[in-house]
Structure 1
C-alpha cells in the first residue's frame, strides 16, 4: 500500500501525496475552482486533473524535480533555469485570464498596514522594515497586466534535465505584473536571475530595480503569515535574509 505523505499543511489547506497522486484539501472552494480554471488556460505544462470532489482536488504527479527551494541549495544547469524563464515568458504572453488581480492602490494599502504591524509587534526591526518599504516603492507603479501564476515559487516549477515538465499550484493565478512572477521565482536565488532572464528573452533586465522591489514586497507581506502558520521565515536564505540583503 502506498504511503501517505504530508507535503504541506496549515490552517488554510493541506496537500498529501499517495503514490503518484497529490490530494489538495482546501476549505475554500473558490480557490480550487480558480486553480483548475487557470491550469486549463495556461499554455505551459500543468498537472493532469484526475478528479474533484469538494473539498479535495486530485492531480497527477509531474515528472522531474524542482530547481530547489527557498532557503536551500539550488540545482539545475543554467540552461534549466533559462528554460524556466522561457516557460514563464510563454505564460505571460498568453491571453489574459478572466480573474482580475489586485490594484496598485490596494496592494500599497496592504503593504503599509503590514509594515505597521511588523514594527508595532516587534516582529522585525524598524530599520529593516523601513528600508525595504523604501525599496518596495519601485514595484508600486502602473503595470501592463499579464497572465501571471501569482505564486511562482521555485518549488512550483518542475524540470527534467533542461526541460520544464510542469508548473503546479495555480490558486493565485490571474492578471498581474509579469515582473512579480519573475521576482517570486528567483526569491532567495538571485544568482540565477540572469539565467532566467536569458530564457525570458526581453528587456526585463532593464527593470531589475522593480524585481528587487517585488522581493521586498513579497517578503514583507509573508513574514508574519509564515510565522503564524508554522513556517520559519527567519531560516537561513529565507524571507528575512532576503530583506536583510536590501540593507
Structure 2
C-alpha cells in the first residue's frame, strides 16, 4: 500500500486530493467519493468483484477498495449535505457507462471536477429546518473547543435532543455522531499534513489518542494517517 503524493484541498464538507493513488484496504466512509484519472485504476467491492475504470462514484457507507492505483488522479470526498452529493446519491445511474455490481459501486465516464467542487460549496440548506442550519454552522467552532456535547447544540438550536437528532439525520443524511466523526477526521488530516505529529493531530481533532485516530482513518479511508503525510495543503485547485 503506498501513500498519496500530491496536493490536498480542505473546505467544510469537502476534501479534494490530487496525485498518485496507491492501493487501499477494504473500507467505507460516510461521504460520497468521486475519483477520476486519465489512466485506468481498478476498484473492488466487499464481495470480491473488481472493475477497471477511469472514473468512479462511490455512494456513502459502501465498502470498497482500490485494487490497482494510478500515477495521477483526482479524488473528491463530499459531505452528504452537499447539493451535488445529494444528487449523485439520488440517481447515480444517470452517469454514462454505468457498472453496477451487487448494488455497490458505479463507474462512469469523465466527470466535470470543477463543477463538482463548485457545487459542493453550495449545500441545499435553504429549505432545511433553521435548527439544522444553525447546528451545522456552530459545529466547527465547538469542535475546536473540545468534545461536542449534543445537548449544548440542541440548547443553542432551541429544540429537544431527540427532535434535533431526528431532523439532523433526515436532512443531512447522516446521524450526528457520524457527521462529527467525519469533521474530526478531516481536521486531523489537515493538522497532520501541516506538520503536526500524529499524536498532536489526534488530540487537536478530539480523538482519544493516535491509536484511536489510526483506527478511524483505516475504517474510513483504508489506510493509516501517515499516508497523508506527503500531501501539500493548497487553498485552490490547480488548473481549470
TM range (shorter): under 0.3
TM-score, normalised to structure 2, is 0.28
Q: What's the TM-score once normalised by structure 1's chain length?
A: 0.27
Give the helix-richer structure, 1 or 2. Answer: 1
Structure ranking higher in strand proportion:
2
